Amino acid sequence: MLEAERRTSGLYTPAVVNKLNRDFLSKELAFGTAETEAVARRYNVTSYPSYLYFNPDGSLLYRRFGQTADAAQYLKDVAAAKEAQQDPQNLSHLAAEFRRGNRDVEFLKQYLLKVRALRLPTEQAVLDAYAQQLPARVFYQPTEVLFVLESGPVVGSPAFQLSHLSQKLIDSLYRVLPLPQRMAINSLIINNTMAQAAATKNRSLAEKGASFTRGTWNSDYAKGVRISERDMLNFYRNAKDSTSYLRQAVIYYERYYLNLPADSVKKTLEALQASRQRQAAFLSRPNFAARQRAARQRPTVAATTGQPVVTAGAVYMSRNNAPASFLQELNNGAWAIYQTGTRNKNYLSHALTWSKRTVDLDPAAYNNDTLAHLLYRLGFYAEAEAREQQAVALAHQEKTATAPYQQTLEKMRKRSL
């Protein structure tokens, strides 16, 4: 979180701080760490800033996103979390009942609805159990089929197969459902499938998920292929299959992002500049409501740990405020290569080329930081230090946090990065 936002946030008022310190264990997670990324995946964190409250067993009680200067809102959050903790139908109790073998249809549906209300990834075992308890005839009726689809069944799972017993009904639903609803269903199915594939290191399941992705883009096959390849890249990365990831990443990023036509590059740079101007205008306004609206347009946050009774946290994410573009993709790809820990000069050299391209077109602090890390890994220490110094200077100009870049620079100077 920016220091200016911290000073105006109701989260840091004495009443809220005292309440949290008295009743709960709290933790704020920094963006970009492995812990934060794991939390974001596990608890489906996609909005900034997010506050997550947990039971001692790690089950989620309550969540909210959005910043406000009103301390009363944060006190209401705390009260809501404590109320959920006492609720006999909270997620912890429902999970315990499921483990004890309760397979009543109404109970299972209640469990699924609770997970959905908390905006958590679907419990696939619960969804499969629910679908298997239903008579086959209901899968020829739109209501139950839609409920299962909106729960995001993993491709090939019992719930997925049962919900697709009538392809005619599926086709009919997809013709009448609004586009945003269809997109949400497809995204949930894909995300849940790829998440389970990564968790179980199941490449076959990941390929089924990627195939499903391609099928959702039947009106634009080329885009479907690209997105399915990206899904497989994410699978390799999340499954920690570095060998496959590195091999496919070079093919993917150089095919789709390195050598774009000049007109595409021009449009991207214009969109980037316009986005930054809009962001600067929003953040300079004294009207805090306007600042909130701007914040909601920013991607990811994360806040949590597994152990505290209740954990609240807020994280400011600075890397992805601009429109999605080939520059972001190249920088993210280069950084992902670095994060694998590889010392292979071939892969690092490819990543270095991508990073230089982003810096040439968009010399932002975080792009220079990526380039500095790659130069350091390749043994070009003087060049790496110069780039990291540039990142510090640019961060000052951009009015973003300089401490992470300064810390990296110190480690480079000590050869301890």
Helices (H), 151-202: 158-163, 167-176, 179-200
3-state SS string over 126-150? HHHHHHHHCCHHHHHCHHHHHHHHH
What residues contact 65, with CB distance under 8 A and at least 6 apart?
47, 48, 49, 50, 51, 296, 301
* Reported pTM: 0.79
CATH of segment(s) 326-413 = 1.25.40.10
Chain segment 225-272, per-residue pLDDT in tens:
999 999 999 999 999 999 999 999 999 999 998 877 777 777 777 777
- Choose between 74 and 311: higher pLDDT: 74
pLDDT value of position 6: 65
Residue 375 sits at the vertex; the CA angle it makes with 374 and 378, to the nearest 5 degrees, is 85
pLDDT value of position 272: 73
Chain segment 109-143, per-residue pLDDT in tens:
999 999 999 999 999 999 999 999 999 999 999 99
Buried b (16+ CB within 10 A) or exposed e, 306-333: eebbbbbbbbbbbbebbeebbbbbbbbb
Residue 297 has pLDDT above 60, yes or no: no
Q: For the chain, which residues make up each domain, given as ranges?
A: 3-296, 326-413
Of the ranges 3-17, 227-241, 315-329, which is most confident? 227-241
Chain segment 84-98, per-residue pLDDT in tens:
999 999 999 999 999
Query: What type of residue is 3?
Result: E
Contact assessment for residue 328 and residue 316, using Cβ atoms and an 8 Å cutoff: no
Alpha carbon distance 87, 238 (integer Å): 35
What residues contact 23, with CB distance under 8 A and at least 6 apart?
78, 82, 309, 310
In this structure, what token pair is assigned to residue 319?
A: 């890397």
